[in-house]
Amino acid sequence: MAQYTPPLRDMQFVLHELLNVVDELKQLPAHADVDADTINAVLEEGGKFASQVIAPLNQIGDQEGCKLDKATHEVTTAKGFKEAYLQYVEGGWPALSCDPAFGGQGLPHVVNQCMYEMMNSANQAWTMYPGLSHGAYEALHAHGTDEQKKLYLPKLTSGQWTGTMCLTEPHCGTDLGLLRTKAEPQADGTYKITGNKIFISAGEHDMSENIVHLVLARLPDAPQGSKGISLFVVPKYNVTPEGKIGSRNGIYCGGLEHKMGIHGNATAQMVLDGAVGTLVGEPNKGLAAMFVMMNAARLGVGMQGLGLTEVAYQNAVAYAKDRIQMRSLSGVKAADKPADPIIVHPDVRKMLLTARAYAEGGRALSIWTTLLLDKELSSEDEDERKDAADLVALLTPIVKAFLTDNAWISTSHCMQVFGGHGYIAEWGMEQFVRDARINMIYEGTNTIQSLDLLGRKVLADNGAKLKKFGKIVRDFVEEEGTNEAMQEFVNPLAELGEKVTKLTTEIGMKAFQNPDEVGAAAVDYLRVCGHLVFGYFWARMAKIALAKVDGGDPFYKAKLHTARFYFAKLLPETATLIRTARAGAKPMMDVEESLF
Amino acid sequence: MAQYTPPLRDMQFVLHELLNVVDELKQLPAHADVDADTINAVLEEGGKFASQVIAPLNQIGDQEGCKLDKATHEVTTAKGFKEAYLQYVEGGWPALSCDPAFGGQGLPHVVNQCMYEMMNSANQAWTMYPGLSHGAYEALHAHGTDEQKKLYLPKLTSGQWTGTMCLTEPHCGTDLGLLRTKAEPQADGTYKITGNKIFISAGEHDMSENIVHLVLARLPDAPQGSKGISLFVVPKYNVTPEGKIGSRNGIYCGGLEHKMGIHGNATAQMVLDGAVGTLVGEPNKGLAAMFVMMNAARLGVGMQGLGLTEVAYQNAVAYAKDRIQMRSLSGVKAADKPADPIIVHPDVRKMLLTARAYAEGGRALSIWTTLLLDKELSSEDEDERKDAADLVALLTPIVKAFLTDNAWISTSHCMQVFGGHGYIAEWGMEQFVRDARINMIYEGTNTIQSLDLLGRKVLADNGAKLKKFGKIVRDFVEEEGTNEAMQEFVNPLAELGEKVTKLTTEIGMKAFQNPDEVGAAAVDYLRVCGHLVFGYFWARMAKIALAKVDGGDPFYKAKLHTARFYFAKLLPETATLIRTARAGAKPMMDVEESLF
């Protein structure tokens, strides 16, 4: 079975040495009293929960999956899942970054994000239950009526109830404008909702007393398409005005999907048969309200990718040090053994360091993005809120798509380190790969993320948001301009920055003539931007490591090596990506449909 | 469930228009009478078997897997597997390319290879049963005594009996020098063999009367390491001198592995408890004898990758034409529908065309390699045999690793085209991805393939074999030097050819100083060479298509588009690979082991 050790040291490095989060948070009245000790203590406890409580359930969840009783429509989760959830609730973990007005602990998102990385390393399928709940909390917190907040937020905050997002229908996933679920207004102000939803993660289970579904549906007179969609809260059990559990509502699980991975999470087909719901936000503006949830969820999916990358790396390193096989090409290394440990082989190291560089780069990027989210939500300065919001908007599709694509690459590499043993369920490596695959699909496929980045976040404002990030990179490059030791890092970073600027302009010009040029370049473009962000953080991390490496702490030595590896072996992917992005739409769009 | 249509038209294009196999085979006395009609008729019938008999069992095999009765050690395969195998035997398919001296049909390997592509598209797990048998046939045919040939080859040729390769042990896969299974000579000239083998594909099942295991083991006085390994034939049931089935031998299945994919194939732990075997080939030279089998198996694994790439492509195209979702960025395409079919989106096409270009390029390469194998085995001209053998040696690791890496990329892309539906077992797409993953691991991991290519096949003879292939490319480039229409293809091909030469020299020089430079560059190097070979074939295919495209057959139009796509979007991967190969061993090997 796979093992997991929370990477507390590296989290502390990013939080305190790279990003100085405590100083940053001091500027935000809501978090001004958060100190480093608090953060570290929370993460240490959180790490224990992840590694000791839910990590041991990961393989069980994969093997047992979830079971639906077709007669009662009730779903039983894998052995131990419910008990772990009760422990999670007792520990107060759901409340970590929730609003104190509803029982939350009010800690910054940045702490919660680290907690989620660890939980996803330990058990992604399990973590999706509280993860979805938190999304429902965010949407109701942002758009719910006072009555809805009063009824639902305390229970979601305590974790007594969980939540879901009910968007997808059999004929529509990406294109929610096509959705057909109907909401009929009732005399008492509620709505009766009827329709079929599919792919509802955590849609039904036995872990909480009630499940708060957030459901997209159409009002009778709604305009066609995406401008006619409204958001409703539809609890599994109706809730009395006093907040007590009432009668069973007409929303139930009609089936569970058999999936490639995340078997421990119930992916439910939900049938709404005149289910009673109340409107969240304004009529026909449900998509916008849902996007509050969706943006949080996208950062959350990035954490799933990061978590899997980290845990796959840890296990592959342990195996590579232990497994002996063949001799090093450059001479015997372990003369006392019949063969050398496979970590002596350059390609094994290349696979390991790829995962490591992607994990540590991803950690820096995602913690920074979440710190910006805390500023966007809590800063008292309007300009700072705007700047932070712009950067979060720009970075969110990168966190989602780049980190999950990297996780696919990394988990597959780490599995490869195990040779044939990687393909066998016993070791747990192939589960990481299967679990990692969904993260490239849900909450908007990675192609959709790339269109969001290039189309909406970059080209739509003529690159204004991108320039904000570009300035941060340029300032850093200039700052290090005379630092000889930093040239190996800042030179390729500066070069890539210039190439991104040129590439953006070029695609923008071509897109004027033919909008398909955006669709043709977007996926390559997102990965180029991902490397720009990673290049920036690896250069900054290298700077810190250079300053401290002589102190003898091997952590900084390792950091410096990984930075060098990143620039030598991973960032050069941009050479191809820029070429293929520039090759444009013609090679795809010239082909008549009938020729496929 | 996934669908499959044998790509007969494209196979015929490669066989008859690209490679003129009939003319080539005419030079080989053993195959001089094979005509195009025969080949086409065999492939048409073979395609029916693949698509109608075993394709419908692919998902069943995945869901049911294999069952071991621990009391009897007997394994039951999934519903329909045995019946399909009996049909395969009745159709005479196992005999296709076998020696007529033992009941074979004596057709060239090139026909058999096409048959295997189709069977692997239809059902890789099922196809491994006859595939492994054929490997056992090859090893016994090459190294068996007359007695062994007489006893085993007719039954392996007819398919009444199947075969396996028993190499791996719990502590050794890649490094067979470590193996421990022991063979004790007996007074009657047989050996009693004792040990534990794992990961034995098709190791136990209910499909044939007997199973002929080829087992690597050590004689009592054998030298240590890989020079002390001998090969034995160890049947499940002992065989009487008359070739009849005798008593049960002491080799049995002790367990079945739970795997990521290929569930329909029994991956057996085999216990040898004084099993009776006879020596194949010379004592202590078992590895060399096994490599006959292994080389054939490596080409076979390439076919597994190719087969999965093709079938994944076909299903993704059908879905992309059918599924409507969003509007084209360049304006509504299907005004009569509420959304456009997703094939209008550039990135969907990019994913599809990637799979298509890899499938068609892979088909050209693998059929050519197998034609060379026929020459190596059957030419009367010694020089021709030598040239063919050199090219087969050079190309085998490329076929194995490049085609299976491409299959991993392609099946994942094709699954992505399905969005959330791709992650669900129902559609069959995620099974292709899971099945594809093993092909990068077994029969020598793809890293091992790359070391074989760069170390043994290229650097060990100072690039002599590579130069043979280089000359073929250069001759073609020069031939097309004045053909204006071909410049878009031959220019990048010529450029890549020069870069490969330079890169090879550079790595060779560095390797003198530090052998780890080979291990550091090998994986990137193999993909660069893969693109050189693909570039060569795509240019040649484009030439044929250019000459015929005005005739109105859309096949040539599609071929030309795919060639252009390949050069615009896939071959540029070499820009990165060459950079990372050149970055060398330092970024990996500078890192002390304790820092991982």
Indicate the number of domains in chain A.
3
User: Which chain A residues contact residue B326 at CB under 8 A?
Assistant: 174-175
**What 3-state class would DSSP assign to A235?**
strand
Is residue B295 included in any domain, yes or no? no
B441 to A447: CB separation less than 8 angstroms, yes or no: no
The pLDDT, as a whole number, for residue B12 is 98
Assess whether B122 and B240 both reside in one domain. Answer: no
Q: Which of A250, A266, A285 finishes a domain? A: A285
Q: Are strands B230-235 and A182-185 parallel, antiparallel or unpaired?
A: unpaired
Q: Is the pLDDT reported for residue A1 higher than 90? A: no
Determine the Cα–Cα distance for residues A140 and B93; give it in Å rounded to an integer: 64
Residues with Cβ within 8 Å of B61's Cβ and at least 6 positions away in sequence, in order, are B77, B78, B81, B123, B125, B126, B263, B264, B265
This complex has an ipTM of 0.98
Determine the Cα–Cα distance for residues A411 and A351; give it in Å rounded to an integer: 10
**Residue type for A161, please?**
W
At residue A94, φ and ψ (nearest 5 deg) are -60, -25
Residues with Cβ within 8 Å of A467's Cβ and at least 6 positions away in sequence, in order, are none
Query: Distance (Å) from the C-alpha of residue B348 to the closest C-alpha of chain A?
Result: 9
Determine the Cα–Cα distance for residues B11 and B6; give it in Å rounded to an integer: 9
Determine the Cα–Cα distance for residues A203 and A236; give it in Å rounded to an integer: 10
Query: Distance (Å) from the C-alpha of residue A533 to the closest C-alpha of chain B?
Result: 19
Q: Which of B109, B143, B177 finishes a domain? A: B143
Is residue A301 included in any domain, yes or no? no
User: Which chain B residues contact residue A326 at CB under 8 A?
Assistant: 174-175
Q: In what helix (H) or strand (E) does residue B183 lie, and over which residues does it extend?
A: strand B182-185
Query: Distance (Å) from the C-alpha of residue B573 to the closest C-alpha of chain A?
Result: 5
The pLDDT, as a whole number, for residue B477 is 97
Assess whether B238 and B132 both reside in one domain. Answer: no
Q: Does A41 touch chain B (CB under 8 A)?
A: no
Q: Does A409 touch chain B (CB under 8 A)?
A: no
Query: Distance (Å) from the C-alpha of residue B372 to the closest C-alpha of chain A?
Result: 30
Determine the Cα–Cα distance for residues A297 and B417; give it in Å rounded to an integer: 22
Please spell the DSSP secondary structure of A276-333, one letter per residue: EEEEESSTTBHHHHHHHHHHHHHHHHHHHHHHHHHHHHHHHHHHHHH-B-S--TTS-S
Assess whether B116 and B197 both reside in one domain. Answer: no
For residue A183, the 8-state DSSP code is E
Give the 3-state DSSP-derived string for A162-189, with helices as H, strands as E and coil as C: EEEEECCECCECCCHHHCCCEEEECCCC
Assess whether B47 and B123 both reside in one domain. Answer: yes
The pLDDT, as a whole number, for residue A395 is 98
The pLDDT, as a whole number, for residue B481 is 86
The pLDDT, as a whole number, for residue A409 is 98
Closest CB from A329, A514, A575 relative to B575: A575
**Which residue in B has a C-alpha nearest to residue A267's C-alpha?**
B424
Let me know the angle formed at the C-alpha of B558 by B482 and A520, rounded to the nearest 5 degrees. Answer: 95
Q: Which of A267, A285, A303 finishes a domain? A: A285
Assess whether B257 and B131 both reside in one domain. Answer: no
A-contacting residues of B 228-257, CB under 8 Å?
A: 257
Q: What is the mean pLDDT of chain B?
A: 97
Closest CB from B348, B420, B586 relative to A441: B420
Q: Are strands B191-201 and B182-185 parallel, antiparallel or unpaired?
A: antiparallel
Is residue B131 included in any domain, yes or no? yes
Determine the Cα–Cα distance for residues A34 and A23; give it in Å rounded to an integer: 9
Q: Does B173 touch chain A (CB under 8 A)?
A: yes
Give the distance from CA A431 to its chain's centroid. Answer: 18
What percent of chain A has pLDDT above 70? 100
* pLDDT interval class at A293 (50, 70, 90): confident
Q: Which residue has the tokens 């500027």?
A: A27
The pLDDT, as a whole number, for residue B294 is 86
A35-82 pLDDT, tens digit each: 999 999 999 999 999 999 999 999 999 999 999 999 999 999 999 999
* pLDDT interval class at A290 (50, 70, 90): confident
**What 3-state class would DSSP assign to B199?**
strand
Q: Does A596 touch chain B (CB under 8 A)?
A: yes
Is residue B377 included in any domain, yes or no? no
Q: Give the residue numbers of B marked as catalytic.
A: 443
Assess whether A136 and A176 both reside in one domain. Answer: no
CB-based burial, A500-530: b 16+ in 10 Å, e otherwise: beebbebbbebbeebbbbbbbbbbbbbbbbb
Assess whether B20 and B136 both reside in one domain. Answer: yes
Is residue A169 included in any domain, yes or no? yes
Determine the Cα–Cα distance for residues A102 and A95; give it in Å rounded to an integer: 9
The pLDDT, as a whole number, for residue B255 is 98
Residues with Cβ within 8 Å of B325's Cβ and at least 6 positions away in sequence, in order, are A172, A173, A174, A175, A178, B339, B340, B342, B419
Determine the Cα–Cα distance for residues A222 and A208; give it in Å rounded to an integer: 34
Give the distance from CA B441 to its chain's centroid. Answer: 12
Give the distance from CA B581 to its chain's centroid. Answer: 25
Query: Distance (Å) from the C-alpha of residue B102 to the closest C-alpha of chain A?
Result: 35
B-contacting residues of A 189-208, CB under 8 Å?
A: 198-199
For residue B2, the 8-state DSSP code is -
**Residue type for B314, please?**
Q
A441 to B424: CB separation less than 8 angstroms, yes or no: no
A302-353 pLDDT, tens digit each: 999 999 999 999 999 999 999 999 999 999 999 999 999 999 999 999 999 9
Q: Does A447 touch chain B (CB under 8 A)?
A: yes
B422 to A441: CB separation less than 8 angstroms, yes or no: yes
Q: Does B82 touch chain A (CB under 8 A)?
A: no
A565 to B423: CB separation less than 8 angstroms, yes or no: no
Q: What is the mean pLDDT of chain A?
A: 97
Determine the Cα–Cα distance for residues B353 and B414; give it in Å rounded to an integer: 10
Assess contact for A229 and A218: CB atoms under 8 A: yes
Q: Does B175 touch chain A (CB under 8 A)?
A: yes
A-contacting residues of B 259-278, CB under 8 Å?
A: 259-261
Q: In what helix (H) or strand (E) does residue A537 lie, and over which residues does it extend?
A: helix A516-548
Q: Give the residue numbers of A marked as catalytic.
A: 443
Assess contact for B35 and B71: CB atoms under 8 A: no
* pLDDT interval class at A295 (50, 70, 90): confident
Assess whether A177 and A110 both reside in one domain. Answer: no
User: Which chain B residues contact residue A199 at CB under 8 A?
Assistant: 420
**What 3-state class would DSSP assign to B338?**
coil
In DSSP terms, which residues pair with A233 in a beta bridge? A214, A278
Q: Does A355 touch chain B (CB under 8 A)?
A: no
Q: Does A350 touch chain B (CB under 8 A)?
A: yes
Assess whether B119 and B196 both reside in one domain. Answer: no
Assess whether B201 and B93 both reside in one domain. Answer: no
Q: Does B587 touch chain A (CB under 8 A)?
A: yes
The structure tokens listed for A539 are 């250069």
Is residue B321 included in any domain, yes or no? no
Determine the Cα–Cα distance for residues A429 and A420; give it in Å rounded to an integer: 11
**Which residue in B has a C-alpha nearest to residue A330's C-alpha?**
B515
The pLDDT, as a whole number, for residue A481 is 86
A172 to B320: CB separation less than 8 angstroms, yes or no: no
Give the 3-state DSSP-derived string for B76-142, with helices as H, strands as E and coil as C: ECCCCHHHHHHHHHHCCHHHCCCCHHHCCCCCCHHHHHHHHHHHHHHHHHHHHHHHHHHHHHHHHHH
Per the structure, the complete domain to which residue A130 belongs is given by 8-143
Closest CB from B317, B328, B520 relative to A596: B317
The structure tokens listed for B110 are 């090139």
User: Which chain B residues contact residue A165 at CB under 8 A?
Assistant: none
Assess whether A169 and A136 both reside in one domain. Answer: no
Name which of B451, B448, B273 is nearest A419 in CA terms: B448
The pLDDT, as a whole number, for residue A294 is 86
Determine the Cα–Cα distance for residues A227 and A205; give it in Å rounded to an integer: 32
Query: Distance (Å) from the C-alpha of residue A257 to the closest C-alpha of chain B?
Result: 7
Q: Does B518 touch chain A (CB under 8 A)?
A: yes
The pLDDT, as a whole number, for residue B208 is 97
Assess contact for A217 and A284: CB atoms under 8 A: no
Q: Is B274 left (phi over 0), alpha (psi -120 to 50) or beta?
A: left
Closest CB from B514, B565, B574 relative to A330: B514
The structure tokens listed for A173 are 């996933």
The pLDDT, as a whole number, for residue B273 is 98
Name which of A214, A355, A366 is nearest A304 in CA terms: A366
**What 3-state class would DSSP assign to A159?**
coil
Ranges under pLDDT 50 in chain B: none
Assess whether B179 and B116 both reside in one domain. Answer: no
Determine the Cα–Cα distance for residues A423 and B441; give it in Å rounded to an integer: 8
Determine the Cα–Cα distance for residues B7 and B13; give it in Å rounded to an integer: 10
Query: Distance (Å) from the C-alpha of residue B184 to the closest C-alpha of chain A?
Result: 23
A442 to B420: CB separation less than 8 angstroms, yes or no: yes
Q: Are strands B161-166 and B210-217 parallel, antiparallel or unpaired?
A: parallel
For position B62, which CATH number holds?
A: 1.10.540.10
Please spell the DSSP secondary structure of B546-574, one letter per residue: HHHGGG--HHHHHHHHHHHHIIIIITTHH
**Which residue in B has a C-alpha nearest to residue A256's C-alpha?**
B424
Assess contact for B80 and B52: CB atoms under 8 A: no
For position B257, which CATH number holds?
A: 2.40.110.20
Is residue A553 included in any domain, yes or no? yes
**What 3-state class would DSSP assign to A209?**
coil
**What 3-state class would DSSP assign to A143?**
helix
Is residue A432 included in any domain, yes or no? no
